[in-house]
Structure 1
């Protein structure tokens, strides 16, 4: 089968499309014939071992042999392991794998998959897992969102942000999104009650206070973010696409700073640990079947042009997700 691998760290140019053997499946895994995938910031960061701590899991001097890039996927189940009970050959599924989705086939634990909503294309379904689960777990688990709360999403037009706006709305919150001028109407169309155009207004200057603030960008100090909260408000740190490149911690730096400050301030500060699981995928699938949330796809690239898709995403101006079709 064809798969995108890399044998040295660097930009998307280091990716190579190779013929490799199809993976063997474990007892609790299924073999998925990949029909679509999507790219995430984690992909280009892994490709370049950014942050430096990524080398501990990927390989210190160079990537471990045989690594295939990619996490999000949608496709058709071809084979199932002996202990698989929730899926069967022929099922159309979507979900996530730690590494390996930029390939024609991939072995995936059944706990990381769910049945694809019938109203979604494979490209739409492949754009869900990492971004939507991050948004869901950040709002529901870390943020403890409830109906009637005022919620601010900093970074409302990206992959996580477009899901966060829709999910906050579905939970009954009053939603404000922060984005650039060209994305204002998009964010409004997703259900935001108010939109802050950061090119003409500094959200930190607002008098408004929020019960829950999800920071996806990481371009503000913790002190500035806390000032936007009510006295008992919650700050949820996703990481930060604006994090310095090639540092020791990368996007996790803001998470670490938040953990250090949290014990000494009244307002709650938490981060998203991101735990992919089939229960959350099924919850998201139900919302998508009811048209309460919809994946936003900026561009779709063919499988042979994954390096170009990564370059586009790395520039930092994608509206929603960037999908890959096989």
Structure 2
């Protein structure tokens, strides 16, 4: 089968499309014919081995797993003998945090995927896993938002952010979105009640108050959370120094601030699928690439200017 592989750390130039062995089905796994992927900042971090601490998981001196790729959607080709939920022919989507999704076939643990809703296409569902789970768990699992609460979402126009705006609205929250001036109309179109343009207003001097602060961009300081919010969730960070600075101050503060990495699970993916089916989440796809252009897709998202999602299709 064809797959994009990497045998050293670096930029998109280290990726190569080559023929590799088709994966062998394991217990509690399904074999999926991949039809679409989406690109995430996490793909770039894994590809480059940054931050360096991540190499303790993905390989200290060189990548442990040759095939890159996290998000996918496709069709089940084989199921393990002990599997009773998925069947051959099912349309599925999911997340492979360890990699392996940028390939014609992927052997996927059953507990990190779910079924695609009827009449929803593969590129849409390939856009959901990493970004959708991060937004959902930030708001619901860790942010514990309730109907009627006010939520500030910093970085509201990106992959995670544009899902967060819609999920917050679906749960009855009032949303203030932080984005650039060029994205004001976009975040309003997906449900934001108020918008702060960070190129016109310095968010780190802003003094309004919110029940929950969700930072998907990763540039808020600890003082920003405590000044503007009753509780906060830190999704991203700009540098390791920034992250350690926020977490160091958190250790000496009573302010309820959570920093987390999303964990894929079938139940949350099912909830996201139902929100898509009910039109409570609309995926905005900014660019679509053919699978042969996966390195170009990675290069594009590294510019950190993506509105919504970037997808790659195999057929």
Q: Same fold (TM over 0.5)?
A: yes
Q: Counterparts of 2:88 and 2:179 in 1: how far apart (Å)? A: 42
Q: Counterparts of 1:288 and 1:43 in 2: how far apart (Å)? A: 24
Q: Partner of 2:232 in structure 1?
A: 235
Q: Partner of 1:22 in structure 2?
A: 22
Q: Partner of 1:284 in structure 2?
A: 272
Q: Which runs of 5+ in 1 are unaligned?
A: 245-249
Q: Partner of 1:155 in structure 2?
A: 155
Contact preservation (8 Å) 1:258, 1:270: no
Q: 1:58 to 1:292 in 2, by over 3 A?
A: same
Q: Counterparts of 1:225 and 1:126 in 2: how far apart (Å)? A: 32
Contact preservation (8 Å) 2:221, 2:246: no
Q: Does 2:220 correspond to 1:220? A: yes
SS for the counterpart of 1:67 is: coil
SS for the counterpart of 1:118 is: coil
Q: Deviations over 1:164-212 (max 9, x none)?
A: 0000101100000000111111100111000111111122333310110
Q: Partner of 1:39 in structure 2?
A: 39
Q: How does 1:129-278 map to 2 (within 5 A)?
A: 129-229=129-229, 233-240=230-237, 243-244=238-239, 250=240, 254-278=242-266
Q: Does 2:52 correspond to 1:52? A: yes
Q: Does 2:280 correspond to 1:297? A: no
SS for the counterpart of 1:227 is: helix
Q: Counterparts of 1:58 and 1:299 in 2: how far apart (Å)? A: 28
Q: Counterparts of 1:137 and 1:307 in 2: how far apart (Å)? A: 29
Q: CA deviation at 1:273?
A: 3.0
Contact preservation (8 Å) 1:298, 1:319: yes
Q: 1:182 to 1:272 in 2, by over 3 A?
A: same
Q: Which runs of 5+ in 2 are unaligned?
A: none
SS for the counterpart of 2:23 is: coil
Q: Partner of 1:247 in structure 2?
A: none
Q: Counterparts of 1:128 and 1:62 in 2: how far apart (Å)? A: 29
Give TM-score, length-normalised by structure 2.
0.96
Q: CA deviation at 1:261?
A: 2.9
Q: CA deviation at 1:85?
A: 1.2
Q: Counterparts of 2:277 and 2:58 in 1: how far apart (Å)? A: 37
Q: Partner of 2:313 in structure 1?
A: 325
Contact preservation (8 Å) 1:287, 1:293: yes
SS for the counterpart of 2:45 is: helix
Q: Counterparts of 1:36 and 1:221 in 2: how far apart (Å)? A: 37
Deviates more, 1:96-105 or 1:196-205: 196-205
Q: Deviations over 1:99-133 (max 9, x none)?
A: 11100000001111111022321001000000010
Q: CA deviation at 1:255?
A: 4.8
SS for the counterpart of 2:257 is: strand
Q: Counterparts of 1:254 and 1:101 in 2: how far apart (Å)? A: 31
Q: CA deviation at 1:263?
A: 4.4
SS for the counterpart of 1:3 is: strand
Contact preservation (8 Å) 1:204, 1:225: no
